[in-house]
Structure 1
């Protein structure tokens, strides 16, 4: 592996999710995976020591021989100054937790640590559907929950957490109602699920007047089954990197973001 990738600018990205933890070695010039994606199940309860053990397993299985290869880690929580301030689909023990230092101590190396949807936004602005686009772009990841990344003229506005907008006169928030997990839990078909997505994206459209919606997460590979059913004023497209965006974006944190951004379109 070291011989094949010696001339490439590379980093490892690890994406921690509510159901799975996955990682790969990434080509930072192209925004592509240089290895097969390694994936393990997120431990039941997702408490810090168990998640760290799973991350160690993913990293070990990647067999990255160069100890200087940067490592980026994406996590499903508000992340500020290395501390996780929320806990979406993981243990409440992550709330107020010094997560970045915990992973650095456990892995014995420096890492780049950020919210999972935010790094997916970085992947799309550097290498995907938001590349070279002006204006306000809103990326959402539809999976166990709903993550969001807000980008203005290529600049990330972090920790938006728009999956947790509240539904008037309802007990649960948007992600409980409209995430892909809701479709699976309630055995909805795509047309029925699309009605929920219609409410969600119409509401975001009203709140932010975006120039583009990007839809990521594993279900985006089935985008032709549900995106055409939505009636919005804003263009809506699937993420180019789909379920790999978290890996690619986490790895991309190892390189200066502004350096890699393309020239703006007219």
Structure 2
């Protein structure tokens, strides 16, 4: 068993748990701390460090971020403080926690977890994971391989409708939509993605995945299949742990002595 701490940064809460990366199971209950007002880097790093202390974790840590993450840097900040843009967040969290931290986009983390342990396990071809919450996150996976940072929640629909502003779960609450009315918007968005990418399967995640019975019958697509996320709100934590383990494994391989250095013939 390989145990990695996964931490998922959200708009309202930052939650974490140790993960068995061989099974994708959380080993304890999640611990959640409210996201600091404004989600500024200094406040968020303090919460991440608090979660590491809470679990007494000594090994690598995986952390999700709700924006573009490239080589450890956060390059966008649609729903958090603009101070994240261009920040070396890997270094920020590594210094704050004293642990090796690997950062990944939150929807990408959820996508990896669902593809390996959840609703996408064993599914070949193109799988698209969408997380409906404060915004809309997206993960594009082909035969288990992630194409990172797709950010498809920022597409424009019918010329004047910004997808996540119009069809996210926050938009549903803001506009006081019932589930059928929200599903009509979501269907318009999914049909647009279906036209662009022809996925074999959509996995619908985020907070709404726990309420699939309320919207499932109202989603209408032309040819792609869709299912609710199986891991629900645990997917980000699991995916964060997966990428941290992968990075740690790569480092171990780099540091291992060659046969000559190790004295083997």
Do the structures match in fold with TM over 0.5? Answer: yes
**Alpha carbon RMSD of aligned pairs, Å?**
1.4
User: The residue matched to 2:38 in structure 1 has which SS?
Assistant: coil
Q: How far did 1:26 drift?
A: 0.7
Give the match for residue 215 of structure 1. 204
Q: How far did 1:243 drift?
A: 0.7
Q: Distance in 2 between matches of 1:144 and 1:19?
A: 9
Q: How far did 1:169 drift?
A: 3.6
**TM score, norm. by length of structure 1:** 0.89
Q: Distance in 2 between matches of 1:209 and 1:169?
A: 21
User: The residue matched to 1:254 in structure 2 has which SS?
Assistant: helix
Structure label with greater radius of gyration: 2
String of CA shifts for 1:117-152, please: whole Å, max 9, x gaps.
001111011111111211111000011110000000
Q: Distance in 1 between matches of 2:15 and 2:89?
A: 18
Q: Distance in 2 between matches of 1:95 and 1:156?
A: 23
Q: Distance in 2 between matches of 1:48 and 1:256?
A: 25
Structure 2: which 5+ runs fail to align? 250-265
**Which of 75, 91, 97 is residue 85 of structure 1 equivalent to?**
75
Deviates more, 1:106-115 or 1:72-81: 106-115
**Which of 128, 146, 159 is residue 118 of structure 2 equivalent to?**
128
Q: Distance in 2 between matches of 1:9 and 1:109?
A: 16
String of CA shifts for 1:181-226, please: whole Å, max 9, x gaps.
1111122110111111011101100111110000111210111211
Give the match for residue 167 of structure 1. 157
Instruction: Give every structure 1 segment of 4 or more consecutive aligned residues whose post-TM-superposition deviation is greater than 4 Å.
Output: none
Give the match for residue 263 of structure 1. none
**Do 1:9 and 1:27's aligned partners in 2 also have CA atoms closer than 8 Å?**
yes
Q: How far did 1:70 drift?
A: 2.0
> 1:185-264 residue pairs with structure 2 within 5 A?
185-232=174-221, 233-256=223-246
User: The residue matched to 1:245 in structure 2 has which SS?
Assistant: helix
**Do 1:129 and 1:239's aligned partners in 2 also have CA atoms closer than 8 Å?**
yes
> 1:1-266 residue pairs with structure 2 within 5 A?
8-64=1-57, 67=58, 69-170=59-160, 173-232=162-221, 233-256=223-246
Q: How far did 1:231 drift?
A: 1.3
Give the match for residue 262 of structure 2. none
**Do 1:77 and 1:86's aligned partners in 2 also have CA atoms closer than 8 Å?**
yes
Q: Distance in 1 between matches of 2:162 and 2:26?
A: 34
Q: Distance in 2 between matches of 1:142 and 1:127?
A: 20
Instruction: Tell me the number of residue pairs that the alignment of Structure 1 and Structure 2 aligns.
Output: 247
Q: Distance in 2 between matches of 1:255 and 1:45?
A: 30
**Do 1:220 and 1:239's aligned partners in 2 also have CA atoms closer than 8 Å?**
yes
Q: Distance in 1 between matches of 2:68 and 2:243?
A: 16
User: The residue matched to 1:253 in structure 2 has which SS?
Assistant: helix
**Do 1:141 and 1:148's aligned partners in 2 also have CA atoms closer than 8 Å?**
yes
**Do 1:47 and 1:94's aligned partners in 2 also have CA atoms closer than 8 Å?**
yes
Give the match for residue 261 of structure 2. none
**Do 1:176 and 1:182's aligned partners in 2 also have CA atoms closer than 8 Å?**
yes
